[in-house]
Amino acid sequence: MNGARTIVIEPYDPEWPAQFAVIAARLREALGDVAVRIDHIGSTAVPGLAAKDVIDVQVGVADLDAPLLLTAFQSLGATATQISADHLPPGAGDAEEWEKRYFRPPASWRPTHLHVRAVGRANFRYALLFRDYLRHSSSATAAYAQVKMALARLHPHDVTAYYDVKDPVCDLVMDAAERWASDIGWSP
């Protein structure tokens, strides 16, 4: 067993986009020009997709080591963590493309994950393409929801086991997403 919290997958909540908007406004005010863009990512950003009740936010920055980045997040009451990279998909190439910063929001915020990634890097693109493809493909969305619900049922208290399976499933979805992106000329 790894991790004390229970993994619970809930039906889609139509309030998630509005909750993201509140978080994004707080981030925009604190980060100013440090944030090139702020995006709602992850399962709560896909209409109809069951998810953990956690808003995933991607803050796109020009420089992960910008001195004002840490200061701006601290001004919100957010804390930096030791997480410094994303899951590296098979054949992903340069590990630097998957580097990130991760912050825990203040305790007063609703459950939120704050991912900071450099605009233009592979992990920045991955999060947006994954979201947009699931918004496009109802069959991929339904299958992905089934996987997440099964994993939560099979490993409700083991976050490591949950992600050990979920991450490669996301990589499989991304194979179809890359073809879709090429077909329609998608870009972030």
What local confidence, expressed as pLDDT, does residue 174 receive? 97
Task: List strands edge to edge, sheet with 101-104.
Answer: 35-41, 55-61, 112-118, 101-104, 79-80
**pLDDT tens per residue, range 76-85:** 999 999 999 9
For the chain, give the number of residues.
188
Q: pTM for the complete prediction?
A: 0.95
Phi, psi of 79 (to 5 degrees): -125, 140
Q: Is 117 helix (H, G, I), strand (E, B) or coil?
A: strand
What local confidence, expressed as pLDDT, does residue 5 receive? 84
Alpha-carbon 79 to chain mean position = 17
- Given pLDDT bands bounded at 50, 70 and 90, which one contains residue 2? low
What local confidence, expressed as pLDDT, does residue 4 receive? 60
Q: Check residue 157 and report its DSSP letter.
A: T
Domain ranges of the chain: 16-184
Contact (Cβ atoms closer than 8 angstroms) between residue 28 and residue 38 = yes
Quote helix, strand, coil % in the chain, to nearest 5: 50, 15, 35
- Given pLDDT bands bounded at 50, 70 and 90, which one contains residue 73? very high
Assigned superfamily of 16-184: Beta Polymerase, domain 2 (3.30.460.10)
**pLDDT tens per residue, range 15-53:** 999 999 999 999 999 999 999 999 999 999 999 999 999
**pLDDT tens per residue, range 98-125:** 999 999 999 999 999 999 999 999 999 9
Beta-bridged to residue 116, according to DSSP, are 59, 101
Beta-bridged to residue 56, according to DSSP, are 41, 113
- What number of other Cβ atoms are within 10 A of residue 91's Cβ? 6
Phi, psi of 151 (to 5 degrees): -65, -40
In degrees, to the nearest 5, what angle opens at C-alpha 122 toward C-alphas 118 and 124? Answer: 45
Would you state the structure tokens that stand for residue 186, as one six-digit string? Answer: 């998608």
- Given pLDDT bands bounded at 50, 70 and 90, which one contains residue 133? very high
Please provide the average confidence, as pLDDT, over all residues in the chain: 96
Which bin fits 131, alpha (ψ -120 to 50), beta or left (φ > 0)?
Answer: alpha
What is the C-alpha to C-alpha distance for residues 126 and 98, in angstroms, rounded to an integer?
Answer: 10
